[in-house]
């Protein structure tokens, strides 16, 4: 990292309780300072405006993979974690990223995703049938199991292993949170090893006995005579689970809390009917997204907004702040499912635009109408509280009564 530049300074701990509950006030303060600010707590420049964030997401002079000559040796206790992370397309640049993403897209087709809709509907009904009498937490009862079961079915692994998948996923994604410490690292490495052992057995089974599932399709996918290695297959399956599950859990929770507490321009049933559901889902994603910050490395010396980046310098892109930029959305803090839809930053952009965006949208526009049709009197029992999981932004609990 180059020496601290002469940029406006933001001093804001990402684990401060007030920030955890409401980061948007700090984002507005930072955005007013200029196109780039120095986020002191992360010791890197950060972008908070829609134009700069979206431009940097598309700028090929920045990428996810640290230049090789600047990479540090992996500590022994983290080797199981990085054995997966090093093969994840989320952390790679071309040509490896191009090859991996192309192969995965051959299996993760729009037709396969669309075919999941009846199963998502039936699963939502099944989970609602099990709601208890009296107050309960909607996160473990509905928001968490729905996406992880969908991913398990998609991959072709047993639903009865979803508690293990959830536990491993939570442990691994904690590595990207501001609260990361040695205990988090040890738990992530242990989860990565267990996850790898679990999937290695399933990959071997599908190589011997192909089935109609995504693991089999990933094994079969081929481009220019190349296929995914076992390590790449495992990393891809874990990425699909971790990214798809964690983000959708937070989005369902944040979305339900928002629909129950914010002023709405139409009655809720109308906002969830076929004529408005797409706009409602996009506004949920824009207004309170699950991932708030994504970082990039400068792949060469480059100047942006008057600041010169050296090769290997990082920049923080605040996706959620971009979504609340008044230069892009009038009255951006207002939740308005009827506002004209335009592309928001919640799924990233450019080369690393979220591969699972179509599945996430399908889960939301399928599950939310079922939930509110089945539970028309659903209401909060306690104020919703966000968990200390930044860069992610999701609820620690959502106590409701159906």
- Residue 210's domain spans which residues? 9-401
Identify whether 271 is part of a domain. yes
Q: Is 14 exposed, middle or buried (0-12, 13-18, 19+ CB in 10 A)?
A: buried
Identify whether 90 is part of a domain. yes
Q: In 3D, which of 127, 130, 132 has the Cα closest to residue 142?
A: 127
Identify whether 241 is part of a domain. yes
Q: What is the CATH number of the domain that holds 216?
A: 1.10.630.10
Helices (H), 130-273: 138, 145-155, 162-173, 182-208, 214-220, 230-261, 268-271
Identify whether 3 is part of a domain. no
Q: Provide the pLDDT for residue 225.
A: 77
Identify whether 2 is part of a domain. no
Could you tell me the end-to-end alpha-carbon distance of the chain, in angstroms, rounded to an integer? 51
Q: Count how many residues are written for the chain.
A: 402
Identify whether 21 is part of a domain. yes
With the C-alpha atoms ordered 57, 60, 61, 62, is the resulting torsion angle positive or negative? positive
CA distance 174 to 172: 5
What are the pLDDT tens digits along the chain (402 aa)? 455 668 999 999 999 999 999 999 999 999 999 999 999 999 999 999 999 999 999 999 999 999 999 999 999 999 999 999 899 999 999 999 999 999 889 888 999 999 999 999 999 999 999 999 999 999 999 999 999 999 999 999 999 999 999 999 999 999 999 999 999 999 999 999 999 999 999 999 999 999 999 999 999 987 667 888 999 999 999 998 888 788 999 999 999 999 999 999 999 999 999 999 999 999 999 999 999 999 999 999 999 999 999 999 999 999 999 999 999 999 999 999 999 989 999 999 999 999 999 999 999 999 999 999 999 999 999 999 999 999 999 999 999 999
Would you tell me how many other CB atoms lie within 10 Å of the CB of residue 99? 17
Would you tell me how many other CB atoms lie within 10 Å of the CB of residue 302? 16
Domain count across the chain: 1
Q: Provide the pLDDT for residue 383.
A: 95
CA distance 297 to 44: 11
Identify whether 4 is part of a domain. no
CA distance 179 to 169: 16
The reported pTM is 0.94
Identify whether 77 is part of a domain. yes
Q: In 3D, which of 157, 159, 160, 151 has the Cα closest to residue 211?
A: 157
The radius of gyration computed from the CA coordinates of the chain, to the nearest angstrom, equals 21
Per the CB < 8 A criterion, the answer to whether 219 and 226 are in contact is no
CA distance 184 to 171: 7
Tokens representing 334? Answer: 């207002």
Q: Provide the pLDDT for residue 26.
A: 98
């Amino acid at each position: 990292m180059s020496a601290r530049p002469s940029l406006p300074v933001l001093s804001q701990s990402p684990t401060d309780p007030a920030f955890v509950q409401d980061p948007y006030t700090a984002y507005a303060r930072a955005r007013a300072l200029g196109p780039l600010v120095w986020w002191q707590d992360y010791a890197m420049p950060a972008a908070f405006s829609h134009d700069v964030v979206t431009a940097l997401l598309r700028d090929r002079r920045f990428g996810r993979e640290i230049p090789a000559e600047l990479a540090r040796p992996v500590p022994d206790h983290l080797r199981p974690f990085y054995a997966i992370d090093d093969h994840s397309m989320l952390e790679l640049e071309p040509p490896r990223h191009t090859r991996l993403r192309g192969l995965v897209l051959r299996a993760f087709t729009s037709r396969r995703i669309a075919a999941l809709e009846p199963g998502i509907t039936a699963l939502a009904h099944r989970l609602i049938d099990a709601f208890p009498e009296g107050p309960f937490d909607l996160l473990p009862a509905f928001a968490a199991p729905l996406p992880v079961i969908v991913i398990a079915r998609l991959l072709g692994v047993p639903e009865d292993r979803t508690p293990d998948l959830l536990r491993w996923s939570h442990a691994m994604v904690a590595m990207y949170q501001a609260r990361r410490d040695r205990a988090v690292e040890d738990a992530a490495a242990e989860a990565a090893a267990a996850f790898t052992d679990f999937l290695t057995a399933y990959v071997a089974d599908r190589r011997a006995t192909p089935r109609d599932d995504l693991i089999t399709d990933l094994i079969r996918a081929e481009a220019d005579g190349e296929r995914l290695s076992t390590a790449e297959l495992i990393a891809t399956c874990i990425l699909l689970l971790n990214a798809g599950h964690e983000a959708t859990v937070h989005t369902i929770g944040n979305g339900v809390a928002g629909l129950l507490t914010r002023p709405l321009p139409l009655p809720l049933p109308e906002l969830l009917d076929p004529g408005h559901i797409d706009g409602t889902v996009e506004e949920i994603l824009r207004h309170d997204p699950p991932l708030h910050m994504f970082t990039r490395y400068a792949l060469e010396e480059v100047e942006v907004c008057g600041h010169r980046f050296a090769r290997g310098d990082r920049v923080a892109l605040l996706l959620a702040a971009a979504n609340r930029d008044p230069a892009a959305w009038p009255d951006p803090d207002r939740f308005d499912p009827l506002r004209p839809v335009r592309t928001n930053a919640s799924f990233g952009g450019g080369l690393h635009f979220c591969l699972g965006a179509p599945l996430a949208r399908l889960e939301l526009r399928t599950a939310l109408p079922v939930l509110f049709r089945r539970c028309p009197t659903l209401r909060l029992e306690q104020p919703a509280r966000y968990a200390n999981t930044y860069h992610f932004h999701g609820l620690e609990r959502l106590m409701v009564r159906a």
